[in-house]
Amino acid sequence: MSFRRESDFIPGEEQRYRPDDGCPLFSERLEEHLVAFTRGELPNRGSFCGHCYTPLAADSERCPHCDEDVATRAPVNRVPDEIVEVLRRQRSTESRWVNGFAYLGLLIAVVGGIALVLVIPFFKDNLIWATAAYGLILLVGGRGLAGFLGGYYGDRIGYERARRATMAAWDQWLVARDG
Ligand SMILES: [Zn+2]
């Protein structure tokens, strides 16, 4: 069974890496709903696909995300706590990796900047310029490296790790739910 992603239908828009790996958690609409719910902006009530828990419109006959027929599997009126918890874990794993790599980038700028200023003879004799150069390296390099390492490597690795845990949780959930 293949699950189409909503992002497939938005050409040109920058999207995070989402593999089509057979696990229907999480559709963008479900993710938006759960984020709003965990922030207390929305109640965990409504009509959700009985399979993948994507929010459904009142007249939906099929889930727009996993294509489940509502006649085969009735919609549910709340997202199970276990699924909310899976998303919470996924996002916390992702943000740990993004932040970890961002700090690594900052650390490289801090240490690399000191090293650079120390090895260039001109800076040894010109403390003002050395300070200015170091400040610039921290400001530009620190920000750039943190953004690049966190936003690229941290995001990618974090997503892969979190995704694996989500897929394992989904498999367990299916066994518990459907036997
Ligand atoms: Zn669905």
Closest CA to 66 of 6, 19, 22, 24: 24
Tell how far the Cα of 161 is from the centroid of ligand 1, in angstroms: 23
The answer to whether residues 88 and 107 belong to one domain is: yes
The answer to whether residues 174 and 89 belong to one domain is: yes
The answer to whether residues 29 and 65 belong to one domain is: yes
| 6-25: b (≥16 Cβ within 10 Å) or e | eeeeeeeeeeeeeeeeebbb
The answer to whether residues 40 and 125 belong to one domain is: no
18 band by pLDDT with thresholds 50, 70 and 90: low
Q: Is the pLDDT of residue 176 over 90?
A: yes
Residue ending a domain, among 79, 96, 114, is: 79
22 band by pLDDT with thresholds 50, 70 and 90: confident
Tell how far the Cα of 168 is from the centroid of ligand 1, in angstroms: 18
Tell how far the Cα of 55 is from the centroid of ligand 1, in angstroms: 8
Domain span including residue 103? 80-179
Closest CA to 81 of 175, 173, 171, 168: 173
Tally of domains within the chain: 2
**Nearest-5° Cα angle at 6, 3 to 7:** 110
Tell how far the Cα of 157 is from the centroid of ligand 1, in angstroms: 27
Distance CA 177, CA 155 (A): 31
Which residues make beta-bridge pairs with 69? 62
CB 101 within 8 A of CB 154: yes
CB 154 within 8 A of CB 99: yes
108-152, pLDDT tens digit by residue? 999 999 999 999 999 988 999 999 999 999 999 999 999 999 999
Residues with CB under 5 A from ligand 1 (ion): 49, 51-52, 54, 63, 65-66, 68
The answer to whether residues 70 and 85 belong to one domain is: no
Tell how far the Cα of 56 is from the centroid of ligand 1, in angstroms: 9
The answer to whether residues 60 and 97 belong to one domain is: no
Residue ending a domain, among 33, 55, 79, is: 79
Q: Is the pLDDT of residue 16 over 80?
A: no
87-97, pLDDT tens digit by residue? 999 999 999 99
The answer to whether residues 88 and 169 belong to one domain is: yes
Residue ending a domain, among 79, 114, 139, is: 79
The answer to whether residues 28 and 101 belong to one domain is: no
* Biggest alpha carbon–alpha carbon distance for the chain: 79
